[in-house]
């Protein structure tokens, strides 16, 4: 009985079952047309990359969503103020394929608020008082700040190169000591 109903439904939807090839019913597309951007979330994004040490622990805000604080190291090595930070949703921060770094995509044309803790002194009870210095930056500037480690001067040498130089210096010192020894004692020793 169920088969008869199924066959009836099939025949009414796809023809009479005579073996003629029928086209499948057209499916309605839920996507917006290519020219229409209303309602779609296609906007240009930029990717920022940073180390795992700059990302804090996830926390839950008052709205119930998980967020992560990301620190930005000071560009100037002489700047000993606390680092600036910004907040991103935890689901937007991802680990890279090597497991050593993190990345996040943010809107290219947006802006982000950076905050830096500032020590104001102590209150009457002797408790330290901190205030936050806040500023807005574009996401392009944010990318430059977070990835400033790429522009630092890299005049460092490899470890093997410095080991070779150290070995050469030891050999020169040993030769100098040997030469000084012969100058003091002299070369006119009978057993030499």
Q: What is the pLDDT of residues 46-96, one digit of tens each?
A: 899 888 888 888 899 999 999 999 998 888 878 888 899 999 999 998 888
Q: Where are the domains of the chain?
A: 45-150
The reported pLDDT for the residue numbered 51 is: 86
What number is the average pLDDT over the span 139-155?
79
pLDDT of 6 higher than 50: no
Strand ranges across the sheet with 59-60: 59-60, 66-72, 84-89, 111-122, 128-138
Question: Rounded to two decimals, what is the model's pTM?
Answer: 0.56
């Amino acid at each position: 009985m169920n088969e008869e109903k199924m066959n009836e439904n099939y025949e009414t939807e796809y023809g009479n079952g005579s073996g003629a090839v029928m086209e499948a019913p057209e499916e309605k597309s839920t996507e917006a047309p290519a020219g229409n951007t209303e309602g779609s979330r296609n906007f240009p994004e930029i990717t920022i990359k940073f180390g795992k040490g700059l990302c804090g622990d996830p926390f839950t805000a008052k709205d119930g969503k998980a967020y992560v604080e990301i620190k930005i190291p000071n560009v100037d090595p002489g700047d000993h103020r606390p680092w600036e930070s910004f907040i991103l949703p935890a689901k937007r921060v991802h680990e890279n394929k090597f497991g050593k770094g993190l990345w996040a995509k943010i809107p290219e044309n947006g802006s982000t608020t950076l905050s830096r803790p500032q020590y104001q002194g102590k209150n009457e009870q002797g408790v330290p008082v901190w205030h936050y210095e806040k500023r807005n930056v574009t996401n392009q500037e944010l990318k430059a700040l977070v990835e400033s480690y790429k522009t630092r001067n890299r005049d460092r040498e490899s470890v093997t190169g410095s080991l070779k130089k150290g070995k050469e210096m030891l050999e020169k010192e040993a030769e100098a000591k040997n030469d000084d020894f012969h100058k003091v004692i002299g070369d006119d020793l009978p057993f030499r």
